[in-house]
Amino acid sequence: MKPIRIIIFAKAPVAGQVKTRLIPALGAEGAARLARRMLAHTVDKAIAAGVGTVELCASPSMHDPAWHRPTLPPELQWSDQGEGELGERMARAAKRWLDAGQPLLLIGTDCPELDCQMLQTAAQSLSNHDAAIAPTADGGYALLGLNRFDATVFDNIRWSTDTVARETLSRLETLGWTVHRLPNLHDIDEAADLQWIPEAWRDDVEQERPTPDQHPHADPRELAQ
């Protein structure tokens, strides 16, 4: 199998700036701690998959002080996402390597279910498919594998909606590309998604949940989820 580059798109896990939809349930620092855990978990799984080089495509810049706190493996390569909306940033990262003949997997850090085996399966599928995708239950995707580049895969996608995976698959079909579809997975974006975190994380997450007094503007029904 040809080596595959795994590109992890990640935002610095800074309290109040990351996983903001989880703040009513976990508090700003609790949401940031979970983001740090998911980042470390994703990087570890990507490296352990052993399919090729792993690159963290960071926002803000990898030189920003926001990245000084997370401790990540030294073999991890870094790049900057740069400016623009999500589609522009993803397209830029993908084009850089695909133009050089390097197949790749684009992933985020929000899906603990994306394990070594699934990464290996996706990488292997690029031996005889143009693309691979792992949709998520909320309509997005946790992984997009590509063997070739076309900007329409990323242009004018309605990001953060329940149509992302469907729109992307439609673009791939229009291009006539062969696609390997992996099983649906679950992202951790909102309080209701916390049911999908690994069992080993549950005690920590429960301890991080704020009381209504600690988060006076939160809906108590959300805190109870």
- Which residue range forms the structural domain that includes residue 14? 5-223
pLDDT of 160-180, one tens digit each? 999 999 999 999 999 999 999
Return the pLDDT at 211.
53
Q: How many domains does the chain have?
A: 1
Q: 46 pLDDT exceeds 70?
A: yes
Q: CA torsion sign, 104 to 110 to 116 to 122?
A: negative
Residue 43's CATH number: 3.90.550.10
pTM above 0.75, yes or no: yes
Q: Which two tokens stand for residue 39?
A: 């980042």
Return the pLDDT at 5.
98
Return the pLDDT at 19.
95
Is pLDDT larger for residue 203 or for residue 33?
33
Return the pLDDT at 13.
94
Return the pLDDT at 207.
62
pLDDT of 95-116, one tens digit each? 999 999 999 999 999 999 999 9
CB 35 within 8 A of CB 17: no
Which residues, other chains included, contact 184 with Cβ-Cβ below 8 Å and sequence gap of 6+? 134, 135, 136, 137
Return the pLDDT at 222.
34
Distances (CA, A) of 99 to 96, 104, 172: 6, 11, 18
pLDDT band of residue 119 (cuts 50, 70, 90) is: very high
Return the pLDDT at 208.
60
